[in-house]
């Protein structure tokens, strides 16, 4: 495994570096990167940014807002949080999002440090029932990017104020607030340490559990190209916010695998605009489905016909065609 040393605290650079590694580095290697961001909100690929953040808090506290490549929900980062990224080769035909496979070494490393961490639900890690790590994946062209957060000593009050969480998510988990269902790792350490010391301990545990790790730094050429990508994509308003659609119909449903919102502009019975948002995962680009439905009649038979050759699970992991049709027309 190759460990990429990245001391940047710039969320735009760090998100760009993941995409750069995935697209540029050798396919036959496994990569690990541990990194931190200054205060920021990292938005899931399919989410409507405006609905996920507390705009006033973001502006007042100079919190960066950056969209990532992977699906899933919005997460808050600060310098009390440590992020990990694995990038590995996978089967071209792989459709599954296997979170447990990538989180097992993290859980094992924490367990060896005396921390009672465990895999919990579809993509979370928890300690005594409280979440300390959210995970997401992006699969493209035979490669999987898996990344996750590790709340080490994050300001949990700021985390709660920064994110706007929908009431249906809170109700579905039987909790009253974000603050009541998350925790930091720090209180569970046998011996207090800094986050930098914790990072080094984690790397040592990875070496013991997995295999020999070779450390490398980004070259000057790497950094230049990552900065160019950050400027052309990750620092742009179009990527991070985009335009919220005009709509006449909004449908929303929370499934076991996540929430899906359908925003439709229907005029004279015809779908003129279509946008999907949510904290779901998908291997293919949801824009394919959005564009396919534009021009369709807003009724079951026509929508069913338009989707007849589509494997919906490739776009919304865990969903089938009938479930999507019911969501759209119910």
Question: Nearest to residue 122, comparing CAs of 325, 322, 258, 254?
Answer: 258
Check whether 245 has a pLDDT greater than 80: no
- Spell out the CATH class of 249-329: alpha beta
In the sheet that holds 214-217, the strands lie side by side as: 117-120, 124-127, 130-140, 143-151, 81-89, 31-35, 2-5, 214-217
Burial pattern 72-111, b for ≥16 Cβ within 10 A else e, equals bbbbbbbebbbbbbbbbebeeeeeebebeebbebbbbbbe
Rounded to the nearest integer, the mean pLDDT of the chain is 89
pLDDT in tens, 138-173: 988 889 999 999 999 999 999 999 997 655 543 444
> Which positions ≥6 away from 189 have C-beta within 8 Å?
113, 114, 115, 198
Who has greater pLDDT, 153 or 47?
153
Round to whole Å and give the CA distance between 154 and 165. Answer: 18
Which residue ranges does the chain devote to CATH 3.30.390.50? 249-329
136 close to 71: Cβ distance less than 8 angstroms: yes
pLDDT in tens, 91-105: 766 556 678 888 888
> Which positions ≥6 away from 124 have C-beta within 8 Å?
131, 133, 134, 135
Work out the pLDDT band at 176, boundaries 50, 70, 90.
Answer: very low
Mean pLDDT on 249-275: 92
E-only strand ranges, the chain: 2-5, 31-35, 40-43, 64-67, 75-77, 81-89, 117-120, 124-127, 130-140, 143-151, 214-217, 249-255, 258-267, 270-278
273 close to 241: Cβ distance less than 8 angstroms: no
Which residue ranges does the chain devote to CATH 3.30.930.10? 2-240
The fourth-level CATH superfamily of domain 2-240 is: Bira Bifunctional Protein; Domain 2 (3.30.930.10)
pLDDT on residue 174: 41
Round to whole Å and give the CA distance between 195 and 97. Answer: 29
Pairing of strands 40-43, 117-120: unpaired
pLDDT on residue 293: 97
Question: Which pTM does this prediction carry?
Answer: 0.81
Check whether 322 has a pLDDT greater than 50: yes
DSSP 16-52: HHHHHHHHHS-TTS-EEEEE--SSEEEE-TTS-HHHH
Round to whole Å and give the CA distance between 149 and 104. Answer: 14
pLDDT on residue 282: 92
pLDDT in tens, 190-240: 988 999 999 998 888 888 776 688 999 999 999 999 999 999 999 999 999
pLDDT on residue 145: 95
Mean pLDDT on 42-66: 91
């Amino acid at each position: 495994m190759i460990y990429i040393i990245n001391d940047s605290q710039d969320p735009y650079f760090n998100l760009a570096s993941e995409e750069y590694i995935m697209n540029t580095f050798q396919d036959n290697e496994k990569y690990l990167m541990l990194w931190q961001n200054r205060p920021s909100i990292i938005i899931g690929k399919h989410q409507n940014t405006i609905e996920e953040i507390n705009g006033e808090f973001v502006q007042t506290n100079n919190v960066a807002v950056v969209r990532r490549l992977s699906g899933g929900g919005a997460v808050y980062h600060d310098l009390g949080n440590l992020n990990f990224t694995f990038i590995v080769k996978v089967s071209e035909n792989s459709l599954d999002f296997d979170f447990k496979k990538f989180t097992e070494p993290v859980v094992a490393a924490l367990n060896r440090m005396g921390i009672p961490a465990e895999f919990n639900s579809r993509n979370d890690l928890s300690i005594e029932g409280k979440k300390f790590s959210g995970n997401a994946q992006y699969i493209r062209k035979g490669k999987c990017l898996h990344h996750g957060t590790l709340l080490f000593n994050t300001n949990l009050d700021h985390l709660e104020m920064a994110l706007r969480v929908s009431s249906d998510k809170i109700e579905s988990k039987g909790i009253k607030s974000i603050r009541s269902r998350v925790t930091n790792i720090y209180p569970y350490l046998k011996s207090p340490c800094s986050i930098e010391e914790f990072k080094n301990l984690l790397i040592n545990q990875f070496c013991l559990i997995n295999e020999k790790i070779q450390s490398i730094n980004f070259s000057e050429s790497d950094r230049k190209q990552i900065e160019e990508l950050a400027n052309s994509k990750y620092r742009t308003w179009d990527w991070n916010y985009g335009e919220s659609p005009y709509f006449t119909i909004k449908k929303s449903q929370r499934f076991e695998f996540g929430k899906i919102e359908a925003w439709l502009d229907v005029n004279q019975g015809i779908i003129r605009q279509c946008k999907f948002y949510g904290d779901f995962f998908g291997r293919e680009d949801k824009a394919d489905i959005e564009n396919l439905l534009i021009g369709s009649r807003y009724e079951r038979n026509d929508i069913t016909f338009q989707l007849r050759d589509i494997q919906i699970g490739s776009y919304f992991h865990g969903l089938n065609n009938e479930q999507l049709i019911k969501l759209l027309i119910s």
